[in-house]
Structure formats: structure tokens, C-alpha cells
Copies of this chain bind each other. A is one copy, B any other.
Amino acid sequence: MAPVSKGPWLDDDEQKAWRSYLLMHRTLKAHLERHLQRDFGLSGSDFEILVNLSESESGRMRAFELSRATQWEKSRLSHHLARMEKRGLIRKEACDSRYPEIVVTEEGLAAIKESAPAQAALVRQFFVDVFGPDRLAVLGEVADEIVGTIGTHCDTDCPLEARS
């Protein structure tokens, strides 16, 4: 179909780079997740939660901390944690506050210990080594800049997000 509108569009080069970026992210994510599922029976979401918990000070976090770290919506997080609890990867533990802590179990810790090196090897092969050190360093800088820019924007101009 014809382009849907003339507006504040990206020019051809910008559009091409943006689409290449999106396709890279999608392709890489799907590739990492297929290996994770096939070799370790974990989904990308399982892995993300387990990485966050296993790297936390005490192997335990509150749901709002996990929600902030993953940027998942509350309902997605809560459904996913329920599924992980049934599979014995995490458990919920009452603590001082009204809200329980999410704790990684021995089984969850074993799953991340086993799968993380294989994921790291794939990240090296298909991301780090293709970028190479110089281009990777530039990417890291720009990425930090973008996160900072969105953060500043949200603090000042975006009350919707500042509240979340």
C-alpha cells in the first residue's frame, strides 16, 4: 500500500538504520531465547527474572523492584512470577512489609548457573564480536545517552511516566 501519511517522518537513511536496529534486536532476542528454551527449558522472561534475583544483594527482591528493573507491567510480572513459583524457580516469602519478597530458590539458582555461560557465549559470538571493541564502546556511550535523555524528559515533561 502507499505510505500512510506525510508527516514528521524519518528520511530514508534514518528509516533504514532504525529498521535494521529493530530487526537486529528481534533476531538476536529470538535466537538467544530459542537456545535458552531448547537447551535449558527456560524462557527469556524466566532468564531475565533469574538474572535480576541472582545478582541482587541477597537473592531476593520486592515485586516493585523487579518491575522497575524489567520495565514489565505489574500484571505481566505477577502472572509470570506465579508461573515461575509453580515450577519451583522462585518462592514468595513474607517479610516486615505488606508485600512479600521474591526469592530465588536453589533450583532457580541452579538453572541460572547452568544457562548463563551459554547465553554469554552467544552474546559474545553474535553481538560483541560482530561489533568489535571500538564500535561496541560507541554503542555503549550512545545507549547511556539515550537512557539519560529519556529519564530527563520523563522527570520534567512526562508526568505519566514519572508517576509509574
Contact of A10 among B112, B124, B137, B153 (CB under 8 A): B124
Q: How far is the CA of A61 from the CA of B135 in the complex (A)?
A: 37
- Measured CB to CB, the closest approach of chain B to A1, in angstroms, equals 5
Query: By the criterion CB–CB under 8 Å, are A128 and B14 in contact?
Result: yes
Query: By the criterion CB–CB under 8 Å, are A135 and B136 in contact?
Result: no
Whether, in the assembled complex, A24 has its beta carbon less than 8 Å from a beta carbon of chain B, the answer is yes
Query: By the criterion CB–CB under 8 Å, are B4 and A109 in contact?
Result: yes
Which among A78-86, A87-95, A138-146 touches the partner chain?
A: A138-146
Query: By the criterion CB–CB under 8 Å, are B130 and A8 in contact?
Result: no
Interface size class for chain A? 35 or more
Quickly give the copy total for this chain: 2
- Measured CB to CB, the closest approach of chain B to A2, in angstroms, equals 9
Q: How far is the CA of A27 from the CA of B1 in the complex (A)?
A: 31
Query: By the criterion CB–CB under 8 Å, are A135 and B138 in contact?
Result: yes
Q: How far is the CA of A55 from the CA of B17 in the complex (A)?
A: 17
Per-residue interface assignment for chain A, residues 83 to 116, with 1 indicating a CB less than 8 Å from any chain B CB and 0 otherwise: 0000000000000000000000000010011001
Q: How far is the CA of A105 from the CA of B144 in the complex (A)?
A: 40
Query: By the criterion CB–CB under 8 Å, are B127 and A146 in contact?
Result: yes
**Nearest 10 A-B pairs (CB), nearest first?**
A7-B117, A17-B140, A24-B143, A20-B143, A8-B121, A20-B140, A30-B71, A4-B113, A17-B136, A26-B71
